[in-house]
Amino acid sequence: MVQEILKVSPVVVIPNEHSHKIQRNNFILNGKPKFAFDSIENALKDFAEGEFVIVVDNEDRENEGDLIIAAEKMTTEKMAFMVRYTSGLICVPTVPARLDQLKLPLMVPNSTDRFKTAYTISVDYKHNITTGISAHDRALTARSLANFAITNPEEFIRPGHMFPLRYTEGGVLKRIGHTEASVDLCKLSGLKPVGVISELVKDDGLMARRDDCRAFADEHGLKLITDEETLNRTWNLVAELCTQLASNREQIQSLEQQVIELQNRADEFTGPLIRASIRAPPFESGTSEIERQNVRLIYENQQLNEENASLSSLVKEYETTLQVMMSKFRLQAHEIQQSKLQMQREYESLLEKERRKNAQISLENVQLHLHLTAVGNLVRQAYDVQTDLDTEILLESLCIENLGLREMLGIDPNNTHFQDEKVTTSISSTPTTSNGCSNPATSTKLSSIDGIIRSSSASNKNTISNRDHY
C-alpha cells in the first residue's frame, strides 16, 4: 500500500503540497548551482533490496551525508565497505520499544549535544564473535539487534563496539536527523525499524558535504536523498492519504451497517406476514389488516433500497470530488514550482551579468595601472639620461605608451600628434575635455602626461641649441 501511495513524490520545498513524480529533484540554494537528488521511490526500492542509501541533512544543520542500510540486510562485506568510507563509528538507530526490551538506557541522562543525538549504551552480540570490532562481528551485532526474536538483554555484551540510537516517535516529522531518517526508510520499505548509519568521510579526513556525497553516490551507483525535503514530504503525504482513507472507510462501513439493519427489519416483518397471508382463506377481504401491513412493509423495503442506492451514489460523488481536489492541488504546486524556478534563473542571469561587468572593469583598471606605470618609468628615465639620442628614444617610447593608453580608454589617438623637429605634442579639443576623455580624473592625468612630454621635448631642443652655440 505504501508503494502505491508513493507514486506521487514531492519535488521542491512547498509546505503541505505535492507534485508529479520525477526522477531527480533539482534545488537552487542561496544562488548556488543546482543540486540533484534521487527520487524517493528509487531510493526505497534499492533500500528494500539491501543496498546503501546516502542521506544528507540540512546545510544549516550538520551538513553531512550518512551511509545508511537496513540492519537486517547488513553483511560482512557491506560492513567493511561502510568502515572503509566513513568515520568508522557505526550507529544502529531503532525504535524506543526495542531499546526498552533490551534494557539499553541512554548513555547520559542529560545530553549537552546541540543536536541531541540520543546515544545509548554501546553493545556487542554475545555469541559467535571475537573482539567485537571486526566487520564480521559488527555486522552480526547489527543483524542481532534487528532480530526481534532475541528478547533477552543478556544476549548482548555492554559496553561494546556498536552504538544504538534512540529514535524519536513521529520520525522526520518530529526531528530532522539521520537517526529518524534511517528508521523511516526501514518502515517505508516494509523492513524492521532498525538501521545502520555512519558519516561519510573524504580521503583527506574531512567530512563529506553535499557535492562530495553526490560524487560518491555516482561513483558507487548509490541513491542520494535528503531527510529534510524528501522523507518529510513523503511522510506528510502518507499521513494525509491514510487519514482520508480511514475516514472514507468508516463512512462506508457505517452505510453498510445501516443497510444491513434495514434489510433485517424488512425480512423480520415481511416473512411472517406473507406466510400469514398465504394461510388466510382464499376469499378473505383484501382490506384485512394483515394485507395492509404486508403492503406497507414491502413499500418501506423498496424505499430503503432506494435510499441505499442514493447513499452509494453520494459516496462515489464524494470520492470523485476528492480526486479532483487532489489533482488541482498537484497542478497548483507544479505551477508554483515553475514560477520559483523561473525567478531563480532570472536572478542567476542578473548575477552573471554583474560578475562579467565587474571582471571587465577590473581588467581595464589593471591595464590602466600597467600603462601609467610604464609612462612613469619612461618619464623618470628621460630626466636621468645624458645623451640626446637616449632622450629621443625615451620620448618616442613615452609617446607610444601615451597612444596605447588613449586607445585603451577609447580616446581618439588622432587628437594627439607630434611636430616641430623631433617631437611636439598638441592636444585637440573635444566637447568634453581637452584631450577627448569623458572622465575628468583620467583627463587630468593625460594632460599632465602631455605636459611632461612637451616639457621634455622643449628641454631636449634647448640642450641641442646650447651645444651648437658653444
Active site residues: 62, 66, 91, 119, 124, 161, 178, 199
Q: What is the DSSP string of 64-130?
A: -EEEEEEGGG--HHHHHHHHHHB-S--EEEE-HHHHHHTT--BSSSS---TT---BB--EEESSS-S
Distance CA 123, CA 145 (A): 10
Angle between helices 289-384 and 232-279 (to 10 degrees): 170
For residue 52, the SS3 value is coil
Q: Which of 99, 56, 47, 57 is nearest to 78 (CA)?
A: 47
Residue 18 neighbours by CB under 8 Å, 6+ apart: 8, 9, 10, 233, 236, 237, 329, 330, 333
- C-alpha dihedral, 138 to 141 to 146 to 149, nearest 10°: 160
CA distances from 461 to 381, 404, 414, 449 (A): 17, 25, 24, 18
The answer to whether the CB of 210 falls within 8 A of the CB of 63 is yes
Cβ(57)–Cβ(176) below 8 Å = yes
CA atoms in the 13 A half-sphere facing the CB of 155: 15
